Amino acid sequence: MSTDPVRTVGDVGEGELIDLFAGPDAIDDTDAGVLIGPGDDAAVLAGGGPVVVSTDALVDGQHFRLDWSTPGQVGAKAIVANAADVMSMGGRVTGFVVSLTCPKDLRVDTLVGLRDGMRSAARRYGAQVVGGDLTTGNQLVIAVTAIGAMDSRSPVRLSTAREGDVLAVSGELGASGAGLDLLLAGVPGFTSLVTAHCEPSPHLSLAAGAASAGVHAMTDVSDGLLSELRTMARQSGHAMHVDPSRVPVVPELAAAAAALHTDPLRWVLGGGEDHELLASFPAGVVPVGWTAIGTVTRRGGGPPVVVTGIDDVDLDLGWRTF
C-alpha cells in the first residue's frame, strides 16, 4: 500500500492497514519458533514447556509524546518494556502480540514508524511481532503482550530474595527520569539522557546469565529503584538496604541536576523507565556486568527499605499509575 505521509489511517481501509503488519515481510521464515505469524485468527508458536506472559499499555500523552519521540522510538520502547518483564523472570522472549488503538487522523507514516520500531526491537531480543489487533479510538494506545519460554529453568520470582543476599543492578539508573524532566522543562542538550527516556536500551541480556548463576530474585526497574525495592521487600518479607553512592549513573546526570536545580538522587532512587535489571544474588556469586548496590536483611520491626545516608526516605518516590 502507499505510505504517503499525508494519508491518515482514516483514509485507508482496515485491510490495507493490516497489510502493514501482516504482509510478506512480517515474519522471518527462518525462525523455527513461529509456526504461524500474522494474518490468521491467531499466531502459533512452537513450545511445550512453561509459558511466560506479560502485558503493558502505553498511552499517548501519558507514557509518551510524539513531539518528543519518533514513532520508531515509541514502538521500540513498547517492546523493551514488555521484554524486560519476561526476561527478568528468567525467560526467553519468543514473540510479541500488539494491539493498537489509533485515532482516525493518525498519519500512516506514523503507523509505519511504530511498526518498524517494534520489529527492530523485537529482533534485538531474538523474537518477532507475531500478531495483534487494530481498532480506532480517540487517542493512540499501544498494548503489547510479550510471550516467553522458560527453557527448563525455574521462574525467578520477587518473593525468593533471601537474607544475606547481595542486591545488584545491570546498568545505570536515573537517566530516563532525568531525560523526562529535561523534556518537560524544555532544556536543550543532554542528548544521552533524552535518548534514555525516549528509547531505553537496558542490559537485558544479563538476565540469562543471572538465572544460570543462581539469582534468587529479579525484576526490572520500570517504576523507580525505591519502588522496585519496596515491592521486593513486600513479596519476600525481608528488608532491602541500598547505598545510593554505589548505584551506577551516567556522567551527564550531575550537570542535568544542576541545570534543573534539583538533586540527582531523586532520579537515581525514584526515576522510572530505565528498565535495567535489579537482582538479589547469593553473596559471592554476583556475575560480571552487574554492580552491587546493597544487601537483603532481616525485616524485624524496621522499614522495608533503608537507604544509606538518608534517615527519612520517601518510599513513595517512583512512578504511580493512579
Q: All domains of the chain, ordered by start, with CATH?
A: 9-149 (3.30.1330.10), 158-307 (3.90.650.10)
Flag whether 275 is marked binding.
no
Q: Is 25 exposed, middle or buried (0-12, 13-18, 19+ CB in 10 A)?
A: exposed
Report, as an integer, the average pLDDT of 14-34. Answer: 70
Q: Is residue 318 marked as binding?
A: no
Asked whether the predicted pLDDT for residue 216 surpasses 80, the reply is: yes
**180-188 mean pLDDT:** 97
Question: Residue 315 to residues 109, 174, 249: CA-CA distances in angstroms?
Answer: 42, 16, 20
Whether the per-residue pLDDT at 21 is higher than 60: the answer is yes
Q: What stretch of H or E contains 227?
A: helix 225-236
pLDDT at 1 > cutoff 60: no
Q: Which three cell numbers stand for residue 114?
A: 511504530
Is 290 annotated as contributing to ligand binding?
A: no
Considering only CA atoms, which of 51, 46, 118 is closest in space to residue 81?
Answer: 118
- Average per-residue pLDDT in the chain? 91
C-alpha cell at 196: 534514555
What pLDDT does 6 receive? 72
Q: What is the pLDDT of residue 12?
A: 80
Predicted pLDDT of residue 35: 82
Burial 94-105 (b: 16+ CB within 10 A, else e): bbbbbbbbbeee
Q: Which three cell numbers stand for residue 131?
A: 500478531
Q: Per the annotation, does 273 bind a ligand?
A: yes
Give yes or no for residue 70 having a pLDDT over 90: yes
What is the value of pTM for the model shown? 0.89
pLDDT at 320 over 60: no
pLDDT higher than threshold 80 for residue 151: yes
Q: Is 54 annotated as a binding residue?
A: yes
pLDDT-derived band at 117, boundaries 50, 70, 90: very high
- DSSP class of residue 209 equals H
Is residue 31 over pLDDT 80?
no
Instruction: For residue 220, say whether it is annotated as part of any ligand binding site.
Output: yes
Q: Is 181 flagged in the annotation as binding?
A: no
Residues 219, 85 contacting (CB under 8 angstroms) = no
pLDDT digits (tens, 9 = 90+) for 291-318: 999 999 998 888 899 999 887 656 566 5
Close Cβ partners of 163 (under 8 Å, ≥ 6 residues apart): 238, 296, 297, 298
Average pLDDT, integer, range 23-46: 73
| Alpha carbon distance 191, 145 (integer Å) | 30
**Could you tell me which residues come within 8 angstroms of residue 264 by beta carbon, excluding any fewer than 6 positions away?**
174, 178, 249, 253, 254, 256, 257
- Is 41 marked as binding a ligand? yes
Residues whose CB falls within 8 Å of the CB of residue 240, separated by 6 or more in sequence, listed in order: 161, 167, 229, 230, 232, 233, 294, 296, 297, 304, 305, 306
According to the annotation, is 223 in a ligand binding site? yes
